[in-house]
With several copies, the nearest count.
Chain A
């Protein structure tokens, strides 16, 4: 296993301690609940925003706790939603008179933990609302399925409600804004390689040297199809042909365009994909309002990328342009 790790079962706590120590006092750490939270939270004049998904998707979501983003993150182990108790205790600790917002990626484990946690909190008279992120177009949504997965679009939901909460928006307003982002964001991911969870110590799935998985899930869930690797131009076509018609995004729309790295792909390749996607979108009359090229939601060291489009209106544009201060940063 090509990893920097001590005891693999301590991987998540040791990572969280690093996040805490690197924060220079901006964050606090409660090892009992894998809990990273803002040192100045809860703020009685601000809704507290919490996410707790599986680990292994860093910087999502433990590294985007901070001003203008999350107030707290309580992740589970690598690729496993947090135990119910983490959700309950985190929500109690972060409770604000303005209420608590849970942002949950639509996976059974995350949903169930947050549903049960919310029930427990409501029994304690804590005001909780939930946003369910489900931007992955790889999965067909219908009444009899578990619905779409939440992937990199999660970043935009947090950014928008995080910025609005900072300005004092009410819990109800945050729910409206968050659901507006969720209704307008779509993602597809493509994997070129597998990844190795530290405790497992071997790759999650096999994939041949010349193959890629189109529509990969961020926990290595199979996608729409397994094909031969094609050129970057053709890959961008695969992305756009899946994402654009889904909303649909139309000529005249303004969008935020994100090329997200799944972990093992160089940022050079991400910018290469970005350039191609930007030109193809503009040729379809879809205008790029703002670019996002980096790792936002990874699948450990998986080689691959996802493309996310968010249709923006003036309110969302304003919120995306607000500042934020989190662990993951360059300067």
Chain B
């Protein structure tokens, strides 16, 4: 599989997972947010789901940029700028490559994280999706550096990343929300997981499953 084929698999799985979990993601956002997180993400990813094949596949950057544009034009709320910026920064880092090394994958993901931080001003530990995303990338980096990583097409590394995300999302529970709408609740935000972080875990688990199947 080429890098854009791999990316297609990831994007399609991501879109399917988001559409399938719309209500769940909303429920997560309802505890201390306003309950629209799932709807907002769906508005963009249902377009990705339906039109992915028609997107420019000439290189990795072009494909990521198109997804960033779709999100910027369809997704409202905090998630639009945050996820949109993530994809646009990843696209910039990927550039016109059609082949991507393990190191480049990590660099692209780190660029997305920097974009989210620039856009939303959040740091780690402030109870946002960063608290799941960053540990997952760390785990992926470690995993991909293992000797067997090339042989299993990164399957184990991706699973490790997904597991790290789930664990880290769970660990947002005792955190005090400092960003986004949840921050208004102050102390009341303690005791429930962050919606964005939990969604990252759910999405990465789906991607890991799809990846294993595709590369079995």
Quick check: do A and B touch in the complex, using CB within 8 A?
Answer: yes
Q: Is the CB of A219 within 8 A of B76?
A: no
Q: Is the CB of B73 within 8 A of A146?
A: no
Report chain A residues within 8 Å CB of B186. Answer: 140
- How far is B118's CA from A116's CA once the two chains are assembled, in angstroms? 11
Report chain B residues within 8 Å CB of A140. Answer: 186
Q: Is the CB of B180 within 8 A of A146?
A: yes
Report chain A residues within 8 Å CB of B71. Answer: 83
Partner of B80 from the list A79, A83, A222 (CB cut-off 8 Å) is A83
Q: Is the CB of B77 within 8 A of A222?
A: no
Given contacts A108-B120, A222-B188, contact A81 B80 (CB under 8 A): yes
Which DSSP category, helix, strand, loop or mixed, fits chain B's interface? helix
- How far is B34's CA from A207's CA once the two chains are assembled, in angstroms? 15
Partner of A109 from the list B26, B35, B78, B183 (CB cut-off 8 Å) is B78
Interface check B102, CB cutoff 8 A: no
Partner of A200 from the list B26, B79, B80, B178 (CB cut-off 8 Å) is B26
Given contacts A204-B30, A222-B188, contact A107 B181 (CB under 8 A): yes
Report chain B residues within 8 Å CB of A217. Answer: 181, 184
Contact with B along A189-212 (1 / 0, CB 8 A): 000000001011000110000000
Report chain A residues within 8 Å CB of B179. Answer: 108, 146
Q: Is the CB of A221 within 8 A of B184?
A: yes
A111 CB, nearest partner CB in chain B, Å: 9
Q: Is the CB of B78 within 8 A of A200?
A: no
Interface check A76, CB cutoff 8 A: yes
Q: Is the CB of A76 within 8 A of B184?
A: no
Interface check B43, CB cutoff 8 A: yes
Contact with B along A124-158 (1 / 0, CB 8 A): 00000000000000011000111001000000000
Report chain B residues within 8 Å CB of A68. Answer: none
Report chain A residues within 8 Å CB of B184. Answer: 139, 146, 149, 217, 221-222
Q: Which of B49-57, B81-89, B133-141 contacts A (4 or more CB under 8 A)?
A: B81-89
Interface check A220, CB cutoff 8 A: yes
- How far is B28's CA from A265's CA once the two chains are assembled, in angstroms? 28
Report chain B residues within 8 Å CB of A145. Answer: 178, 183
- How far is B71's CA from A86's CA once the two chains are assembled, in angstroms? 12
Report chain B residues within 8 Å CB of A199. Answer: 39
- How far is B38's CA from A199's CA once the two chains are assembled, in angstroms? 11
Interface check A254, CB cutoff 8 A: no
Partner of B84 from the list A76, A116, A197, A222 (CB cut-off 8 Å) is A116
Contact with A along B148-159 (1 / 0, CB 8 A): 000000000000
Partner of B77 from the list A86, A109, A197 (CB cut-off 8 Å) is A109
Report chain B residues within 8 Å CB of A139. Answer: 184
Report chain B residues within 8 Å CB of A166. Answer: none
- How far is B188's CA from A139's CA once the two chains are assembled, in angstroms? 13
Contact residues of B between 161 and 216, Cβ < 8 Å to A: 178-181, 183-186, 188
- How far is B39's CA from A54's CA once the two chains are assembled, in angstroms? 13
- How far is B32's CA from A205's CA once the two chains are assembled, in angstroms? 10
Interface check A58, CB cutoff 8 A: no
Q: Is the CB of B76 within 8 A of A81?
A: yes
Report chain B residues within 8 Å CB of A81. Answer: 76-78, 80
Report chain A residues within 8 Å CB of B72. Answer: 83-85, 116
- Since A54-B77, A84-B80, A217-B181 are in contact, a sample of 9 more A-B pairs with Cβ atoms closer than 8 Å, ordered by chain A residue number, is A83-B71, A83-B80, A112-B80, A115-B81, A116-B72, A116-B85, A146-B180, A222-B32, A222-B188
A-B contact list, 15 entries, CB within 8 Å: A76-B77, A77-B77, A84-B72, A85-B72, A85-B74, A108-B180, A109-B180, A112-B120, A116-B72, A116-B119, A145-B178, A145-B183, A220-B34, A221-B34, A222-B32
